[in-house]
Amino acid sequence: MNVILVGAGLANGLLADRLLAQHPSLDLLVLEAGPTPGGEHTWCFHEHDVPAHTLEWLQPFVSASWVGHEVAFPGLKRSLPGGYSAIRSEDFAARLTQHLGPRLRTNTPVREVTPTSVVLRDGATLTADVVIDGRGFPPDAPGERGYQKFLGRDLLLRAAHGLTRPLLMDATVEQRDGFRFIYVLPWDERRVLVEDTRYSDTATLDVPRLRDDIDAWLAARGWQTERVLREEAAALPIPLSGEAPRPQTRPTVGVAAGFFHATTGYSLPFAAATAELVSAQAELQPAHLMSLLDDAASRHWRSMGFFRLLNRMLFKGAEPAGRVRVFESFYRHEAEVIERFYAGRLSWTDKLSALRRGAPTVPPVRAMRAAFSI
């Protein structure tokens, strides 16, 4: 057996797709602890987050795309241009299951991973030329961080909702537990994903309370739920400082290797880029892949340095109830700056503008302390 991928989440799912595209004769096995690949997730990206050639092979995974999106704050409402796309885990699972066939094994928990072997929970050992770990962010990872946590409810409404594009932030809601907003994706005229999201100091999720908060938001808009189709919940790490994650003992991809946007938590563009990087290699050997991925992770971590600074300003400089003002100020930038922010490609002038515009929203002393508390 040539390659084993441990975990069938976004990073390894996209990697499996690219490996088979670039190496059709590859002997590949993907192991997933859960009943289906992808779990319960929705992954999104802006059109400028990925290059055109990447979008071509991503397209079969995409569940829906829209032109433009909206945001709403207490003192600002705005429509922004640009494409926005989303992948539902159910569509991701269907595509991956069909593509991989018997190469995918679900309900297969793993106990131990080395660069060339996997020990399953039942004690069986599988060997390969190389094993790549893509099981997600470890809860005990070092480094100071806040959290972007959310509960999402995929709903079928009793009547049409009237939205034609995503509402990425409705921050006109009551602010509590940090910066809070409602995120909405209209799948069709009656099906909609509604997420209650918080930029919080803790990872604790009060799911019953979040359900009530979503129901209250729906009621305020006059929307009635006919059926809850699924739920998704997570507490994504928002790094404030620390060293770059490194695959100490085995090739590692995905958020465990730090391949995500430090402020927004978006991971799909970086998972796609990693899949292209690994699959382009002529030889898939442990030492080479560990070096390749370590170098890529270090470069990515450095590229996110300014975003970690922004995170410290947000979590340590701004009072929790005042964090909404930071985001509202940011959304007054030109649309092109906002595009580059989400893509993680801010210019120096963009960075200066972000600091200048955000400065009035954070007390100066707290801002200085936050900036240098590395």
Least confident of 105-114, 228-237, 361-370: 361-370
Residues 6+ apart with CB under 8 A from 147: 198, 199, 200, 201, 202, 203, 235, 236, 237, 238
Is the pLDDT at 74 greater than 90? The verdict is: yes
Tokens of 233: 């919940």
What is the pairing mode between strands 167-170 and 125-127? unpaired
Q: How confident is the model at residue 140 (pLDDT cuts 50, 70, 90)?
A: low
Report whether pLDDT(359) > 70: no
Q: What is the pLDDT of residue 365?
A: 45
pLDDT by residue (tens digit) across 116-138?
Answer: 999 999 999 999 999 999 998 76
Per domain, the residue ranges of the chain are 3-66+82-137+245-303, 145-239, 305-371
Amino acid at the residue 324: V
The encoded tokens of residue 247 equal 């695959």
DSSP run (H or E) holding 137 = none
Look at the block and give the residue holding tokens 């709903």: 155
- Predicted TM-score (pTM) of the model is 0.93
How many CA atoms lie within 13 Å of 127's alpha carbon, on the beta-carbon side?
0
pLDDT band at 343 (very low <50, low <70, confident <90, very high): very high
pLDDT at res. 357: 72
Q: For residue 168, give the 3-state DSSP assignment.
A: strand
Residue 270's pLDDT is what? 97
Contact 86, 168 (CB under 8 A): no
**Under a CB-based contact definition with an 8 Å cutoff, are residues 136 and 254 in contact?**
yes
pLDDT tens for each residue of 276-330: 999 999 889 999 999 999 999 999 999 999 999 999 999 998 888 899 999 999 9
How does DSSP classify residue 244?
A: P
Average pLDDT over residues 83-89: 97
CATH code for residues 145-239: 3.30.70.1990
Nearest Cα neighbor of 151 from 188, 191, 96, 197 is: 197
Segment among 88-92, 168-172, 181-185, 315-319 with least mean pLDDT:
315-319
Query: Cα 12 to the chain's mean position, in Å?
Result: 14
- Mean model confidence pLDDT for the chain: 92
Q: Which CATH superfamily is domain 3-66+82-137+245-303 in?
A: FAD/NAD(P)-binding domain (3.50.50.60)
* Cα 37 to Cα 100, 126, 151, 337, 340, distances in angstroms: 11, 20, 20, 35, 31
